[in-house]
Amino acid sequence: MIKETAAALGAKIAAGEITSVQATQAHLDRISEVDGRVHAFLHVDPEGALRAAAAIDARIANGEQLGPLAGVPIAVKDVIATKGMPTTAGSKILEGWRPPYDATLTTRLREAGLVILGKTNMDEFAMGSSTEYSAYGPTYNPWDLTRIPGGSGGGSAAALAAYEAPLSIGTDTGGSIRQPGAVTGTVGAKPTYGGTSRYGLIAFSSSLDTPGPCARTVEDTALLHSVIAGHDPMDSTSIPQPVPDVVGAARRGAAGDLSGVRIGLVREFTGEGAEPGVMSVFRDAVESLTKLGAEIVEISCPHFLYALPAYYLIAPSECSSNLARFDGVRFGLRVGDDGSRSLEEVMSVTREAGFGPEVKRRIIVGTYALSSGYYDAYYGQAQKVRTLITRDFTAAFEQVDVIVSPTTPFVAFPLGSRTSDPYQMYLADLYTIPTNLYGGPAISVPCGLSEGLPVGLQIMAPTMADDRMYRVGAAVESVVGTLTPPAL
């Protein structure tokens, strides 16, 4: 049962062939069996999950018509607020914090009848590309337990690859859904910024953070996308427009016909710095798209080369402000409050003890970049680059329907191999970051193996044209198929 797609599970539950309780129990059993080695979860909630599953079963037995994913289990990244369930964002500073409210996304999952199994591991506050910066220890890639599962959403991706959950929720600020998807051989989509609500998502970088769906198939990803997307009055940046028909697009794409579709290849993404194996699998995937009728067009996006430095000013700047609220006053960790220290000192030692090295690095960089006298040279300049990158995308989408690239320059790397050099770690997001700065949607779908490890193909689309990437993604899947990791 654990290898079924979410669509199939949902259909069987709706048809009464299996119960949600059975599906949920099967996944809880799998978690008990393998998560000691994978460590995809920070918190598992068997009682809550089984109670929710039983409630769905009762409603189905009552003859209620529920959505296609009703009764299907799901894992949620630990950066999304879940009422009464621990939500740590992978940080010691939030250890034991149980939000008194649900994120909009959590509410939508519950309303659609999805069963929340628990919360998945992540780099602290979603800052990282390997999940090694989780304060609670790393997650291991089910393809090779000595390698990283990507990040920051390594837990959400590894849970899928290890068959601990058929669906999961991630968040993508610079590639945190797509890069883990790529290196675990799963599918991860970053919707249009503003297409999914951020209310209840613990902010890293407000202008970039985008929650999105993760699954093992493109159709499952689209089904989950349509559950969580749509306007939310609680999020001022949420787009008040109808959600594109992503499920329909995925089903159309699965037929394998891309005739009339123009696909852009970015000239500036030369493959320099990327592993040859990754580039070779990528080129084969592009070749197969032409066989499905797509037209390949080379486009120029000259400012993509500046995306990484611009991102590493904007995201830390916003994070330095967003993370200021973690001061030990109202919630979470408090250190040193023994009467010997002033309030400011308590705040200071709490933050010193509660934040890990990558978070501190970014807070320091961001604080510096926003300081008076430096603002124009750093934050201001980065915002200009952001505008130029947006223009590159806008111009490109006049020539093509979607743009493709490898999702990440390299396959899953061994644990510990990039933590000593932050820049090497940052390179993992070289291809994913431009989309975040632009705000458009992008998806990573498996497109083959290099040295036995999964490679992802990234498909980028214009804002609010999320359906396009699902169509092309499903077409790729129809050729490549889903990738099956070795047995754990």
Judged by CB under 8 A, the number of residues near other proteins is: 44
- Tell me if the bond preceding 205 is cis, omega within 30° of 0: no
Nearer to other proteins, 217 or 317 (CB): 317
Q: How far is the CB of 159 from other proteins (least distance, A)?
A: 21
Contacting range for other proteins; rule: CB under 8 A; set: 87-95, 280-288, 385-393, 447-455:
87-95
Is 364 a binder of other proteins (CB under 8 A)?
no
Residue 26 and residue 88 in contact, taking contact as beta carbons nearer than 8 Å: no
Q: How far is the CB of 101 from other proteins (least distance, A)?
A: 5
Strand ranges in 45-111 using DSSP code E only, listed in sequence order: 73-77
Query: Which secondary structure element, helix H or strand E, spans residue 14, and what is its range?
Result: helix 6-15
Nearer to other proteins, 184 or 205 (CB): 205
Site residues for other proteins, window 328-347 (CB under 8 A)? 329-331, 343-344, 347
Amino acid at 340: S
Instruction: Please give the structure tokens belonging to residue 284.
Output: 């084969």
Cα angle 197, 251, 159 (rounded to 5 degrees) comes to 55
Strand ranges in 151-294 using DSSP code E only, listed in sequence order: 167-172, 187-190, 210-215, 262-266
Contacting range for other proteins; rule: CB under 8 A; set: 23-31, 40-48, 179-187, 321-329:
321-329
Among 325, 357, 377, 452, contact with other proteins (rule: CB under 8 A)? 325
CA 208 and chain centroid, separation: 12
- Residues annotated as catalytic are 77, 152, 176
Site residues for other proteins, window 367-406 (CB under 8 A)? 367, 370-372, 375, 379
Among 234, 255, 377, 395, contact with other proteins (rule: CB under 8 A)? 234
CA 303 and chain centroid, separation: 24
Strand ranges in 277-398 using DSSP code E only, listed in sequence order: 295-299
DSSP per position, 328-351: SSSSS-----SSSS-HHHHHHHHH
Nearer to other proteins, 187 or 319 (CB): 319
Site residues for other proteins, window 191-210 (CB under 8 A)? 198-203, 205-207
Instruction: State the maximum Cα–Cα separation within the chain, in Å, rounded to a whole number.
Output: 72
Nearer to other proteins, 203 or 459 (CB): 203
Is 97 a binder of other proteins (CB under 8 A)?
yes
Instruction: Please give the structure tokens belonging to residue 250.
Output: 């995925």
Is 103 a binder of other proteins (CB under 8 A)?
yes
Distance CA 146, CA 149 (A): 10
- Contact positions vs other proteins (CB under 8 A): 80-81, 87, 89, 94, 97, 99-101, 103, 198-203, 205-207, 233-237, 317-318, 320-321, 324-327, 329-331, 343-344, 347, 367, 370-372, 375, 379
